[in-house]
Structure 1
């Protein structure tokens, strides 16, 4: 993401995994290993972390090299990410991105819930 401005969407996309009403079957080209790798972007089960320098959780609809932060992630746990807090402090991100907006869908409160749902609904499991 750009060092000048931290870009995020105005609200979660229609297939955002943070939405309570969406699951892995709603995400085009879903890859569970990629979803598992995003654990380091989020607070752990003790609500600690992520570490300084951790990558940010990009929207799955982002284009490679032009990633934008996931609005669902930003509004639920983004405030825990050191890079996000730094972006707000430096004026590169409006703090309003750190809370759901009016009319937003219900969002999971943590990535553990998101990942549990994604594991349970992984379309690749049905192929085995």
Structure 2
């Protein structure tokens, strides 16, 4: 079995797109934990991410009863851009939140291209948003807070001293 996987990292230059053919059983690279600025982390300032990056997350979203289609992009870490040591490595936060509801990720699990533990947050991980809706709602709060000088929303990442 061969799957065509569409990967999109989100980063400062805007979303990139790469289509790749992944032979069954060929390992996919993935992050072992969310990076320091992963948008799925509750302690990340989501106002730093663009509307285009949020739209890409919408296209890659899956949830119970509304799984992402095989044509939906997978999400690569925004730090793992082309030209870096681990270009196109799958985002750990996205895998933990959306992976079970994404058809391409399920195929990767079945064909053993991705281990099941890639979708399971470790006990030492930071807290993550439970779904894309919660992430997008938090982003709106972060954007509103940034628009008003001196004002910050309550909750992570703003409740730190």
The structure that is helix-richer by fraction is 1
TM (normalized to structure 1)?
0.82
Give the secondary structure class of the aligned counterpart of 1:51.
Answer: coil
In structure 1, what is the Cα distance between the partners aligned to 2:128 and 2:65? Answer: 17
Query: Could you say which structure has the larger radius of gyration?
Result: 2
Equivalent residues in 2 for 1:1-128 (5 A)?
3=22, 4-25=26-47, 27=48, 30-43=49-62, 47-64=65-82, 66-122=87-143, 126=147
Looking at structure 2, the residues matched to 49 and 88 of structure 1 have their Cα atoms a distance apart, in angstroms, of: 15
Q: TM-score normalised to the size of structure 2?
A: 0.66
RMSD: 2.3
Partner of 2:156: none
Q: Which runs of 5+ in 1 are unaligned?
A: none
Higher-strand-fraction structure: 2
- Quote how far apart the aligned CAs of 1:126 are: 2.9
Does the CA-based 8 Å contact 1:88-1:95 persist in structure 2? Answer: yes
Separation in 2, partners of 1:74, 1:104: 13
Task: Tell which has more relative contact order, 1 or 2 (C-alpha 8 A, sep 6+).
Answer: 1
**Pairs aligned (count):** 122
Query: What runs of 5+ residues in structure 2 fail to find an aligned partner?
Result: 1-6, 8-19, 149-161
- In the TM superposition, what whole-angstrom CA distance separates every residue of 1:60-103 from its partner, at most 9, and x where no partner exists? 11213721111011012211111111011111101001110121
